[in-house]
Structure 1
Amino acid sequence: MRIVWAVTCVLWAALPAQTAVVPTKSSEAEFEWKHHNNQELEQVLKEVAERCHDVARLYALNKPSVRNVPLWTLELSDNPGQHELLEPEFKYVANMHGNEVMGRELVLGLAHHLCQAWRAGDPHVRKLLSITRIHLLPSMNPDGWQLASDTGGRDYLKGRANNNSVDLNRDFPDLDRIMYSNEARHVQHNNHLMDQLRGLDHQPQPETWAVMKWIMGTPFVLSANLHGGDLVANYPYDASRSGAAQEYAYSPDDSTFRHLAQVYASRHPRMSDPHRPPCTPGDYTFGPDGGVTNGAAWYSVRGGMQDFNYLSSNDLEVTLEVGCDKYPPASSLQQEWLDNKEALMEYMWQTHLGVKGVVRDSLTGQGIPNTLIHVKNITRINDTHVRDEDINHDVTSVHNGDYWRLLVPGDYEVTATAEGYLPLTHTITVTNPPHQEALRRDFDLAPLPDDSMLRQVTGEDEGGEVYDTYPRGQEPNLYELPLEDDLLGRLRDMDRMPY
């Protein structure tokens, strides 16, 4: 679905803006490893934003929690507050389940570390922040955190959900069902699926809406969602194809996702240890598997944030289970930081895998947003065989035509296709040297001749059918969003927008 830019701008303007914050003055005190309450979390982020005001910006997502707690987010970049051409965007989200609290403290500690390292002139952090725009959301569920903390932080479920008793990681639109239906009908449409969604069977929670709008409105390339209760890096798909409780669900980017998960697990001292015991006696331990798992192979989840990112936007996301204890004692947090620090840092560098570039009009030099970037793997397997395999998950260019496509090393054909232009294909070799920017390959597209445009014949509608998110065989009354707050329609219209 093509979106008229002028209409998109109107829709975007109609959405509530993210709230910028003027940080408070702070001291140079070292980070205190403790369980920060919601007020202390805000204060830590404000102090970091003040200390590193040249590279940090604090803002809140456009909706607060049910109990009206802002979803504070810290941006770190050498030019905070705006997207820069060819600079990829990254996010960490933690504390989605309110009683899984270690990720919340790790993300706060990471914010402090990045600021201090920038100020100290650390060359690796300086380079990372100069070529990456990083967003840190320490708590997506501050209300659940409050309940878990008020009740002692020892219950396995209490505080997991938000204040309306909804599990936020089951609350996103079920785009997996649309994607699997497309597969069954041999429709090669596996990306930006919000344009096929016409209604919902429930009203997503305010925290979910806020993150949905954030995902659709920011050109994220890579992200991770930090959970607790196990020690494993989990990658898409989270939902099984057949509906089975456990079933490996391959995505078109399976090799890239496995690489991303392995980057984190291999840099954690215990996650990939083949000899470590399971978190719960009798449970499975992922150490012999390198500390990684496919989501649906572990257990199938519908309506999760991980798959929503992949199927609604350009973002590849994995879920990190960072510790066996959901609510560990404060005395263990500093050691947990030391165990996770290298993995957290190295994972962010993966934002620069593969290829990036700018798609331009060859006559005017203007960037072309919403260009489809399709990739075929042509890596040679041996002397006589080439893989010759389409990766059926396209990304789109954004803003002024810039795009990013995460890929593992190999040989690829990359094709740019935009409405009104002749498609163009480049052959590239991806090597991914560590801590370097992605290979750059620009596309200068020639406009279609006038007579060709008049004689264009559209083939099968790539958008496929539209769906409601009710389970198969059930016909609930669709929740109709009020006209004045039709976020679903606006989010759908932002699909494939140039952000």
Structure 2
Amino acid sequence: MNKLRFVHILLFTTAICFFLPPIAARGGHSDYIRPGPPQKTYSFYLSGDGSSSFQGTARNLFAQVEPRPSAELARGYMTNDDLEKAMKDFTKRCSKISRLYSIGKSVNGFPLWVIEISDRPGEIEAEPAFKYIGNVHGDEPVGRELLIRLANWICDNYKKDPLAQMIVENVHLHILPSLNPDAFTVRTRNNANNVDLNRDFPDQFFPLNEDLGLRQPETRAIMTWLMDTRFTASATLHGGALVANFPWDGTEDKRKYYYACPDDETFRFLARIYSKSHRNMSLSKEFEEGITNGASWYPIYGGMQDWNYIHGGCFELTLEISDNKWPKAAELPTIWDYNRKSMLNLVASLVKTGVHGRIFSLDQGKPLPGLVVVKGINYTVKAHQAYADYHRLLAPGRKYEVTASSPGYKPKTTTVWLGDDAVNVDFILIPEASSQGNLLRSICDCSGQPFLPQFFTVTNNGITFTLIVVVAFLCFLLQRRVRFNLLKQRQSSRRSTTV
């Protein structure tokens, strides 16, 4: 009888294991979700000072335990000390187009080093910024190796390769090869406190905690980094699959299905840039075109990708760049060759596509911090506080109605046809309830309104004529200066207009 009961238990257990769903390749995820009502509304607006609110209570989301790669398998990969030395050597060799800085330290005190690549590293310019992050999970080290190779390739080729030159001269590229150096050392997924860093960010559907100090030091470093630096787009490099993943990563009801964010079309476009530039990612039989919506693949909560988009104003992709999380070091040159073009094209997309420009005030001719919205898309892009430049990534091949606004000024709207190339649209806003602004607007506006005859009938002709000539000339100089300053910063192939 006991033997028969044992056989029944064994068969029942085997049946359960057979029908369990397989662990997803995106690094594996925890099914633990802190209970709480889903949020029915959420804001996509980045506050004026770049800050954001974090709600809920503290938590840890532990991933399922996976076999630790052997020490022999790690042979040939750079150690943390090797990586630090390689980054320092790089900035010495390429000092004219790079600088090295740290955004913080890991749990065990290792610096989180970042390389910035630009023709003016360390300076603030009216240019978009892009960041690459690798080694979010300690047992996914391929990103570390590829990112240092990317930096060296740009340094070696920026004077002779048009794509490298475009990136150096028109983008501020920031490269963080290892977010999780502690876990890399011991070849585990989670950080030294056994926390999955890609489940440690504030989540829009299931609030976690308000206290930034309760989060992991690596997570805090990323969040502070985005408050200090305005990134237009970014990508994190993971391992365990071959696909470009985009928001949303989670759903309101925790179920698995396609859950689109407001910029779903744009994210699909960016993901396809990476996938189709890759040697074989777009040929995937598992993922159509080699791309996937995160929630459609499997939902996660507390992920870095969604937080970047909501609170950082940054369009982020999660890139799975290798089916094998920890391939042999001898395979790294091939993996780099397969991903090189994709990595470069994704960064270059910041200046090759989308709508870009600056916002000025007509009364003073100075950069005007403001907001840019696109009709039909529930997302706000904030112009830079000092230079008032904005960079609105959008999928090409359609018309967009773009509006710029700023407190105390009349909003201005224009319609843009976005083809394969980027478009510059510079907005000059008119102060509200300003007679001077109305005068300037009437004179500078080429709409053909019969302003001059009406003005001549009520004012001395000679004085009026002189006043109009002077003001019109000043207006002409102002707009010419605006266009000239912007022209120096834009590519000659990009269409430009001022409204």
Same fold (TM over 0.5): yes
Task: Say if 2:193 is the partner of 1:164.
Answer: yes
**Contact 2:166/2:348 (CA < 8 Å) preserved in 1?**
no
Question: What are the superposed Cα offsets for residues 248-273 of structure 1, whole Å, 9 maximum, x if unpaired?
Answer: 11111111101111111112222121
1:93-108 equivalences under 5 Å are 93-108=133-148
User: C-alpha offsets along residues 223-268 of structure 1, whole Å, 9 cap, x if unaligned?
Assistant: 1110001111100000113221x11111111111011111111122
Tell me what 1:57 maps to.
Answer: 99
One-letter amino acid of the structure 2 residue matched with residue 405 of structure 1: R
Give yes or no for contact 2:114–2:176 (8 Å, CA) kept in 1: yes
Instruction: Measure, in 2, the Cα distance between the counterparts of 1:318 and 1:253.
Output: 12
Matched residue, 2:237: 226
Q: 2:125·2:387 contact (CA, 8 Å) conserved in 1?
A: no
1:128-186 CA-to-partner distances (Å, cap 9, x unmatched) read: 210111000000000011110xxxxxxxxxx11110001000001113457xxxxxxxx
Indicate whether 1:392 and 2:378 are aligned.
yes
Q: Give 1:279's aligned residue.
A: none
- Higher RCO, Cα 8 Å, sep 6+: 1
Does the CA contact (< 8 Å) of 1:375 and 1:414 recur in 2?
A: yes
Larger relative helix fraction: 2
Q: Is the 8 A contact 1:95 1:104 kept in 2?
A: yes
How far apart are the structure 2 equivalents of 1:3 and 1:423? 19
| Contact persistence 2:108–2:192 (CA under 8 A) | yes
- For 1:83, which of 117, 120, 124 is the aligned residue? 124
For the residues of structure 2 that align with 1:69 and 1:108, how far apart are their CA atoms?
Answer: 18
Matched, 1:129 2:139: no
What amino acid maps onto 1:396 in structure 2? K
**1:332-411 → structure 2 map (5 Å cutoff):** 332-352=331-351, 353-369=353-369, 371-376=370-375, 390-398=376-384, 399-409=386-396, 410-411=398-399
Match of 1:259 in 2: 269
Q: State the alpha-carbon separation in 2 of the partners of residues 413 and 243 from structure 1.
A: 34
- Does structure 2 conserve the Cα–Cα contact (< 8 Å) formed by 1:420 and 1:447? yes
Q: CA deviation at 1:3?
A: 6.8
Q: How does 1:214-363 map to 2 (within 5 A)?
A: 214-244=225-255, 246-274=256-284, 285-286=286-287, 289-352=288-351, 353-363=353-363
Could you report, residue by residue, the CA deviation over 1:18-73 in whole angstroms, capped at 9, with x for unpaired residues?
Answer: xxxxxxxxxxxxxxx94111111011111111111110111110x20000000000
Is contact 2:350-2:393 (8 Å) kept?
yes
> Are the aligned partners of 1:361 and 1:367 in contact in 2 as well (CA < 8 Å)?
yes
- The amino acid that maps onto 2:109 is N
Alpha-carbon offset, residue 311 of structure 1: 0.1
200 and 175 in structure 1: CA distance in 2 versus 1, 3 angstrom threshold: farther
Alignment of 1:413-432 (within 5 A): 413-432=401-420
Q: 8 Å contact 2:163–2:348 — kept in the other structure?
A: no
Q: Distance in 2 between matches of 1:202 and 1:60?
A: 19
Mean CA deviation greater in 162-171 or 262-271: 262-271
The code of the aligned residue for 2:147 comes to V
Compared CA separation, residues 237 and 59, structure 1 to 2 (3 A): same
| Aligned-CA RMSD value | 2.2
Contact 2:46 2:312 in 1 (8 A): no
Partners in 2 of 1:250 and 1:2 — Cα distance? Answer: 20
The question of whether the paired residues in 2 share the 8 Å contact of 1:239 and 1:302 is answered with yes
Code of the aligned partner of 2:135: N
Structure 1 spans left out of the alignment, 5+ residues: 10-32, 149-158, 179-196, 276-284, 377-389, 452-499
Distance 1:109 1:173, change over 3 A: same
Partner of 1:40: 82
Change (3 A) 1:238 1:4: closer
Question: 1: distance between equivalents of 2:378 and 2:236?
Answer: 24
Aligned residues of 1:176 and 1:307 also touching (Cα < 8 A): no
1:448 aligned to 2:432?
A: yes
Q: Which amino acid aligns with 2:278?
A: H
d(CA) in 1 for partners of 2:135, 2:241: 14
5+ unaligned residues in a row in structure 2: which ranges?
A: 1-44, 52-74, 436-499
Aligned residue number for residue 183 of structure 1: none
* Cα distance between partner residues in 2 of 1:3 and 1:428: 27
> For 2:290 and 2:131, how far apart are their aligned partners in 1?
22
Distance (Å, rounded) in 2 between the aligned partners of 1:164 and 1:262: 36
CA distance in 2, matches of 1:322, 1:78: 29
Tell me which stretches of 4 or more aligned residues in structure 1 moved more than 6 Å.
1-5
Contact kept? 1:176, 1:311, Cα under 8 Å = no
Alignment of 1:144 onto 2:197 = no
User: Is the 2:202–2:209 Cα contact (8 Å) retained in structure 1?
Assistant: no
Q: Which has the larger radius of gyration?
A: 2
Q: Which segment drifts farther, 214-223 or 164-173?
A: 214-223
Q: In structure 2, how many angstroms separate the alpha carbons of the residues matched to 1:249 and 1:450?
A: 46
The amino acid of 1:139's aligned partner reads S
Counterpart code for 1:426 = T
- Report the alpha carbon displacement of residue 314 of structure 1 after superposing the two structures with TM: 2.0
Instruction: Give the Cα separation in 2 of the matches to 1:97 and 1:253.
Output: 27
1:400 positional shift: 1.8
Q: CA deviation at 1:365?
A: 1.3
Distance 1:218 1:202, change over 3 A: closer
One-letter code aligned to 1:98:
G
Report the CA distance between 1:82 and its aligned residue.
1.2
Write the distance in 2 (CA, Å) between the matches of 1:3 and 1:350: 26
TM-score by length of 2: 0.70
Instruction: Find the aligned partners of 2:48 and 2:324 in 1 and give their Cα distance.
Output: 49
Q: TM-score, normalised by structure 1?
A: 0.70
Count of residues in correspondence between the two structures: 365
Q: Distance in 1 between matches of 2:373 and 2:166?
A: 29
- CA shift in 2, pair 1:96/1:35, >3 Å: same
Partner Cα distance (2:309, 2:166) in 1: 27
Residue 432 of structure 1 and its aligned partner are, at CA, apart by 2.8
Give the AA of the match of 2:82. Answer: E
